[in-house]
Structure formats: structure tokens, C-alpha cells
Amino acid sequence: PTLIPRATGSSPLLIATRSPRSPAFSAPSEPRPSAMATAATISATPLAPLPSSRHAFMAIASPPGGGAFEFLVKAVPGATAEKLCGLRDGDVVELGAVMGKGFPIERVTPADAAETLLLFATGTGISPIRSLIEFGFAAKQRADVRLYYGARNLETMAYQERFAEWESSGLKIVPVLSRPDDGWKGERGYVQRAFLEAKNIANPTSTGAVLCGQSQMIEEVTSALTADGVSQDKILKNF
């Protein structure tokens, strides 16, 4: 569904309209030129006809400046997110305040400040990483840009249709599946293990990283990077 603003009191209310082309939904917004806007999170609550819904917290998946907010919503049975996925024309959604500090990418720009840039995402943590990738961070001007993206299986790995476009920008994608089918030929297990086995950091002082997703992954990757000499200032997290 697409969310259309409606005049209201203290909280922004949005009216849903269906969009058959995408499982995400968008909310028209003012363009925000800074990449600090990437990785921001909002809460959303369906109202009528779903008055008992709780807040659902979702990361903004679209890059800043596009004139709309897009979200990746995982339809967990019985959860508010499932209700959001089932919105129909005219349903109303209330949005909360934006949370999170975003990714301060000025710490890894220009390109020679982080000739190696490593991106890590698990599950719906790919949403703000997608925002960053499509905002642009001079990938082709860097020596090594990798995305380690973990999901349970290919059926739960979002944005596969965008992989070719992302790779054409200079990004190498390393998909990691924790529960793949027997035909899977790629990395198995968890993102942190795949990274630790490959690692290959040529110059830690010129390496940066962006992480979003499962807390254990973030902790283990951060520990590995700092142990190799990567500066904490160049390890970016949105919370």
C-alpha cells in the first residue's frame, strides 16, 4: 500500500492505497539531502478499522531525497506488521517520531578515507543498508566494497531483484543463508562467520564498516574489526 498524508492533530495520519507492484509501502515526505537520514526508524500503527494494533517499528528503506519513504515490512502472523501488509484503500495509519541517529557516512568519505568499505546486514536490517547503497557512497572509487547479507533462505532475502544494479555500482554482494536448501552453492551459516573466514582487510586504517541487524552479528563483527585495527569511528551503526 501507499500511504497518503491526511490533515490531523498532533500525530501524522496516513491513508493507505494499494500498490500491486511492491510489498513495501511509501509515505510522501520532504526531501532530505543528508545521508544521516538513512537508517532512520519510525513507528507505525494501523488505526480504523484496526484500533487494537500496537506500534510496529520499521527502518526507512528508501534513499534520502526521493520524495517518499519506503519500508520493508515482514508479515509476522498476529503482529502489527501483518496488519500493515493487509491494509486496504482508505485504511488509516498513524506514524510516530523518527528514531535513530542514521549513518554518519561523512566518517568514511571521501573514498580515500575508507578505501575498503564493508557493509553488514541481517534480516530486515537490509532496509537502511539499501538506503545507503542507493543514496550512493562512491563505491567505484574505492578499492573494495562488500555487502555481507544474511537471511534464513532465498525466500526471505529481500531486494534480490536489485542485486545486479547494486553490483553495477561497484559493490560485491556476499549472500549468507542460515537455512538454505540443498541446492545452495553460496555461503552458509551466519554473516560474522562468512566475514571472519574471508576477512581480507588490506589496510585497517583505511577501512570502514556499516552494520545493521542482529545484535550478536554486530557485536562479533565489531570486535573482529577493532581487533584488526579498524577505528571505532569508522564502524557505523544507526543506534
Average pLDDT over residues 97-118: 89
For domain 105-237, give the CATH number. Answer: 3.40.50.80
Q: What is the pLDDT of residue 99?
A: 76
The model's pTM is 0.81
Domain coordinates in residue numbering, the chain: 2-95, 105-237
3-state secondary structure of 228: coil
pLDDT tens, residue by residue, 125-170 = 999 999 899 988 889 999 999 999 999 999 999 999 999 999 999 9
| Rounded-to-integer distance, Cα 44 and Cα 50, Å | 12
Q: 2-95: what CATH class?
A: mainly beta
User: Could you tell me the CA-to-CA distances from 156 to 149, 200, 228 in Å, in that order?
Assistant: 11, 28, 32
**SS3 readout for 200-222:** CCCCHHHEEEEEECCHHHHHHHH
pLDDT tens, residue by residue, 35-62 = 444 555 555 555 544 445 567 777 778 8
